[in-house]
Amino acid sequence: MNLQRPTKRTLVEQIVAQLEQLIENGTWPVGERIPAEPELVQELGVSRNTIREAVHALIHAGMLRTRQGDGTYVCSSSSLTPALTRRLERSKLSDTLDVRFALEQEGARLAALRRTPEDIIQIRSAYEDYRKAEDEGDIDSFIRADCVFHSRIIAAAHNSILCDLYESIGEAVQQVVSYGRDYLALQQVHAELNKCLIEKIIEQDAAGSAETVRKYIDASRDMLLKDIQGGKEEHHE
Protein backbone atom coordinates (compact mmCIF):
# COMPACT_ATOMS: atom_id res chain seq x y z
CA MET A 1 0.00 0.00 0.00
CA ASN A 2 1.20 3.50 -0.84
CA LEU A 3 0.23 5.23 2.38
CA GLN A 4 1.59 8.66 3.17
CA ARG A 5 2.64 9.82 6.58
CA PRO A 6 0.42 12.52 8.06
CA THR A 7 1.74 16.06 7.82
CA LYS A 8 1.03 19.18 9.83
CA ARG A 9 -1.49 21.58 8.42
CA THR A 10 -0.02 24.12 6.05
CA LEU A 11 -0.08 27.81 6.83
CA VAL A 12 -2.78 28.34 4.22
CA GLU A 13 -4.94 25.64 5.82
CA GLN A 14 -4.56 27.34 9.21
CA ILE A 15 -5.66 30.68 7.76
CA VAL A 16 -8.59 29.04 5.96
CA ALA A 17 -9.71 27.50 9.26
CA GLN A 18 -9.58 30.88 11.02
CA LEU A 19 -11.48 32.70 8.29
CA GLU A 20 -14.05 29.91 8.08
CA GLN A 21 -14.63 30.16 11.83
CA LEU A 22 -15.24 33.92 11.54
CA ILE A 23 -17.91 33.20 8.93
CA GLU A 24 -19.55 30.30 10.77
CA ASN A 25 -19.79 32.11 14.12
CA GLY A 26 -21.31 35.19 12.48
CA THR A 27 -18.40 37.58 13.04
CA TRP A 28 -18.46 37.96 9.27
CA PRO A 29 -22.18 37.60 8.46
CA VAL A 30 -23.62 36.61 5.10
CA GLY A 31 -23.78 39.61 2.77
CA GLU A 32 -20.96 41.48 4.48
CA ARG A 33 -17.71 42.45 2.77
CA ILE A 34 -14.65 40.92 4.44
CA PRO A 35 -11.60 43.07 5.31
CA ALA A 36 -9.35 44.00 2.41
CA GLU A 37 -6.28 41.90 1.65
CA PRO A 38 -3.73 44.36 3.16
CA GLU A 39 -5.71 44.47 6.41
CA LEU A 40 -5.77 40.66 6.64
CA VAL A 41 -2.05 40.51 5.93
CA GLN A 42 -1.34 42.92 8.78
CA GLU A 43 -3.79 41.28 11.19
CA LEU A 44 -2.61 37.71 10.60
CA GLY A 45 1.07 38.41 10.00
CA VAL A 46 1.35 36.30 6.87
CA SER A 47 2.20 37.01 3.26
CA ARG A 48 -0.19 38.41 0.67
CA ASN A 49 0.05 35.16 -1.29
CA THR A 50 -1.01 33.14 1.76
CA ILE A 51 -4.07 35.33 2.26
CA ARG A 52 -4.89 35.15 -1.42
CA GLU A 53 -4.72 31.34 -1.46
CA ALA A 54 -6.88 31.08 1.66
CA VAL A 55 -9.52 33.43 0.24
CA HIS A 56 -9.51 31.55 -3.07
CA ALA A 57 -10.04 28.29 -1.18
CA LEU A 58 -13.15 29.72 0.51
CA ILE A 59 -14.39 31.10 -2.81
CA HIS A 60 -14.04 27.62 -4.28
CA ALA A 61 -15.91 26.20 -1.26
CA GLY A 62 -18.77 28.59 -1.97
CA MET A 63 -18.49 30.64 1.22
CA LEU A 64 -17.04 33.79 -0.37
CA ARG A 65 -17.71 35.60 -3.64
CA THR A 66 -15.62 38.32 -5.27
CA ARG A 67 -17.31 41.34 -6.81
CA GLN A 68 -15.11 42.96 -9.42
CA GLY A 69 -13.88 46.30 -8.15
CA ASP A 70 -15.89 46.04 -4.92
CA GLY A 71 -14.15 43.43 -2.76
CA THR A 72 -14.97 39.96 -1.44
CA TYR A 73 -18.27 39.16 0.27
CA VAL A 74 -19.58 36.35 2.45
CA CYS A 75 -22.23 34.43 0.49
CA SER A 76 -22.78 31.38 2.74
CA SER A 77 -22.44 30.74 6.45
CA SER A 78 -21.15 27.20 5.89
CA SER A 79 -19.28 25.25 3.25
CA LEU A 80 -22.03 22.66 3.63
CA THR A 81 -24.66 24.91 2.06
CA PRO A 82 -23.05 25.28 -1.39
CA ALA A 83 -22.33 21.54 -1.47
CA LEU A 84 -25.94 20.75 -0.59
CA THR A 85 -27.20 23.27 -3.13
CA ARG A 86 -25.21 21.60 -5.89
CA ARG A 87 -26.54 18.22 -4.76
CA LEU A 88 -30.14 19.45 -4.56
CA GLU A 89 -29.92 20.89 -8.06
CA ARG A 90 -29.51 17.30 -9.24
CA SER A 91 -32.37 15.98 -7.10
CA LYS A 92 -36.12 15.86 -7.42
CA LEU A 93 -37.91 18.59 -5.48
CA SER A 94 -39.98 15.95 -3.70
CA ASP A 95 -36.79 14.30 -2.41
CA THR A 96 -35.50 17.64 -1.16
CA LEU A 97 -38.73 18.37 0.70
CA ASP A 98 -38.73 14.86 2.21
CA VAL A 99 -35.32 15.51 3.78
CA ARG A 100 -36.27 18.95 5.05
CA PHE A 101 -39.48 17.66 6.61
CA ALA A 102 -37.67 14.70 8.18
CA LEU A 103 -35.30 17.10 9.92
CA GLU A 104 -38.22 19.23 11.11
CA GLN A 105 -40.04 16.23 12.55
CA GLU A 106 -37.06 14.95 14.53
CA GLY A 107 -36.16 18.49 15.53
CA ALA A 108 -39.63 19.03 17.01
CA ARG A 109 -39.45 15.75 18.92
CA LEU A 110 -36.08 16.64 20.44
CA ALA A 111 -37.16 20.23 21.13
CA ALA A 112 -40.02 18.93 23.27
CA LEU A 113 -37.53 16.95 25.34
CA ARG A 114 -34.77 19.55 25.62
CA ARG A 115 -36.32 23.01 25.35
CA THR A 116 -35.44 25.65 27.91
CA PRO A 117 -37.57 28.60 29.08
CA GLU A 118 -35.47 30.85 26.83
CA ASP A 119 -36.19 28.57 23.86
CA ILE A 120 -39.93 28.93 24.47
CA ILE A 121 -39.60 32.73 24.51
CA GLN A 122 -37.71 32.64 21.20
CA ILE A 123 -40.21 30.27 19.57
CA ARG A 124 -43.21 32.31 20.71
CA SER A 125 -41.59 35.52 19.48
CA ALA A 126 -40.95 33.95 16.08
CA TYR A 127 -44.56 32.74 15.93
CA GLU A 128 -45.84 36.26 16.63
CA ASP A 129 -43.70 37.62 13.77
CA TYR A 130 -45.05 34.81 11.58
CA ARG A 131 -48.68 35.73 12.30
CA LYS A 132 -47.98 39.45 11.85
CA ALA A 133 -46.48 38.86 8.39
CA GLU A 134 -49.46 36.63 7.55
CA ASP A 135 -51.92 39.38 8.55
CA GLU A 136 -50.04 41.95 6.46
CA GLY A 137 -50.06 39.67 3.42
CA ASP A 138 -46.38 40.30 2.69
CA ILE A 139 -45.29 36.99 1.21
CA ASP A 140 -41.53 37.71 1.30
CA SER A 141 -41.66 38.68 4.97
CA PHE A 142 -43.93 35.74 5.67
CA ILE A 143 -41.54 33.22 4.10
CA ARG A 144 -38.67 34.64 6.15
CA ALA A 145 -40.74 34.56 9.35
CA ASP A 146 -41.86 31.00 8.63
CA CYS A 147 -38.24 29.90 8.20
CA VAL A 148 -37.19 31.64 11.42
CA PHE A 149 -40.04 30.00 13.32
CA HIS A 150 -39.02 26.49 12.29
CA SER A 151 -35.33 27.29 12.79
CA ARG A 152 -36.06 28.34 16.39
CA ILE A 153 -37.70 24.96 17.00
CA ILE A 154 -34.70 23.17 15.52
CA ALA A 155 -32.41 25.26 17.74
CA ALA A 156 -34.40 24.13 20.78
CA ALA A 157 -33.37 20.55 19.99
CA HIS A 158 -29.85 21.53 21.11
CA ASN A 159 -28.11 19.33 18.57
CA SER A 160 -25.45 21.31 16.70
CA ILE A 161 -25.24 18.88 13.77
CA LEU A 162 -29.01 18.90 13.30
CA CYS A 163 -28.98 22.70 13.41
CA ASP A 164 -26.21 22.92 10.81
CA LEU A 165 -27.94 20.45 8.51
CA TYR A 166 -31.29 22.22 8.79
CA GLU A 167 -29.79 25.66 8.27
CA SER A 168 -27.83 24.48 5.25
CA ILE A 169 -30.66 22.64 3.58
CA GLY A 170 -33.02 25.50 4.42
CA GLU A 171 -30.76 27.96 2.58
CA ALA A 172 -30.31 25.51 -0.27
CA VAL A 173 -34.05 24.87 -0.62
CA GLN A 174 -34.69 28.61 -0.91
CA GLN A 175 -32.05 28.84 -3.64
CA VAL A 176 -33.38 25.99 -5.79
CA VAL A 177 -37.14 26.31 -5.13
CA SER A 178 -39.37 29.11 -6.45
CA TYR A 179 -42.26 29.19 -4.02
CA GLY A 180 -45.66 29.30 -5.61
CA ARG A 181 -47.97 32.25 -5.62
CA ASP A 182 -50.33 30.45 -3.23
CA TYR A 183 -47.65 29.88 -0.59
CA LEU A 184 -49.23 32.41 1.80
CA ALA A 185 -52.68 30.84 1.45
CA LEU A 186 -51.12 27.42 2.04
CA GLN A 187 -49.43 28.53 5.24
CA GLN A 188 -52.60 30.12 6.60
CA VAL A 189 -54.02 26.61 6.78
CA HIS A 190 -51.10 25.60 9.00
CA ALA A 191 -51.18 28.47 11.49
CA GLU A 192 -53.23 26.46 13.99
CA LEU A 193 -50.94 23.45 13.59
CA ASN A 194 -47.94 25.63 14.38
CA LYS A 195 -49.74 27.00 17.44
CA CYS A 196 -50.47 23.43 18.52
CA LEU A 197 -46.81 22.54 17.97
CA ILE A 198 -45.73 25.24 20.41
CA GLU A 199 -48.13 23.87 23.02
CA LYS A 200 -46.82 20.32 22.56
CA ILE A 201 -43.23 21.52 22.95
CA ILE A 202 -44.12 23.48 26.10
CA GLU A 203 -45.81 20.36 27.51
CA GLN A 204 -42.70 18.34 26.58
CA ASP A 205 -44.90 15.99 24.58
CA ALA A 206 -42.29 14.52 22.21
CA ALA A 207 -44.67 12.15 20.42
CA GLY A 208 -47.32 14.85 20.08
CA SER A 209 -44.79 17.31 18.68
CA ALA A 210 -43.60 14.85 16.05
CA GLU A 211 -47.18 13.97 15.13
CA THR A 212 -48.12 17.64 14.73
CA VAL A 213 -45.23 18.16 12.33
CA ARG A 214 -46.30 15.03 10.42
CA LYS A 215 -49.76 16.56 9.98
CA TYR A 216 -48.13 19.77 8.77
CA ILE A 217 -46.06 17.77 6.30
CA ASP A 218 -48.99 15.77 4.97
CA ALA A 219 -51.06 18.91 4.51
CA SER A 220 -48.37 20.86 2.70
CA ARG A 221 -46.26 18.54 0.54
CA ASP A 222 -48.74 17.81 -2.26
CA MET A 223 -50.12 21.35 -2.35
CA LEU A 224 -46.68 22.94 -2.46
CA LEU A 225 -45.38 20.60 -5.16
CA LYS A 226 -48.54 21.11 -7.24
CA ASP A 227 -48.35 24.89 -6.92
CA ILE A 228 -44.65 25.01 -7.79
CA GLN A 229 -45.13 22.68 -10.77
CA GLY A 230 -48.02 24.79 -11.99
CA GLY A 231 -45.87 27.91 -11.81
CA LYS A 232 -43.14 26.23 -13.86
CA GLU A 233 -45.64 25.14 -16.51
CA GLU A 234 -46.95 28.71 -16.80
CA HIS A 235 -43.39 29.98 -17.08
CA HIS A 236 -42.68 27.64 -19.99
CA GLU A 237 -45.83 28.60 -21.89
Greater model confidence, 61 or 224: 61
Whether residue 178 is predicted with pLDDT greater than 50 in this model: the reply is: no
Q: Could you give the CA distance from residue 198 to residue 204 in angstroms, rounded to a whole number?
A: 10
Greater model confidence, 166 or 182: 166
Whether residue 236 is predicted with pLDDT greater than 70 in this model: the reply is: no
First to last CA, the chain: 58
Phi then psi for 72, rounded to 5 degrees?
-115, 135
The reply to whether CATH 3.40.190.10 applies to domain 11-74 is no
Average pLDDT over residues 190-215: 92
Whether residue 49 is predicted with pLDDT greater than 50 in this model: the reply is: yes
> Cβ neighbours of residue 233 under 8 Å, at least 6 residues apart?
none
Domain residue spans of the chain: 11-74, 80-236
CATH architecture of 80-236: Up-down Bundle (1.20)
Note the pLDDT of residue 226: 65
Same fold? 11-74, 80-236: no
- Helix H or strand E encompassing 220: helix 206-236
Q: Work out the widest C-alpha separation in the chain, in whole angstroms.
A: 66
- pTM for the whole structure: 0.66
- Helix H or strand E encompassing 30: none
Of 146, 167, 141, which Cα lies nearest the Cα of 23? 167
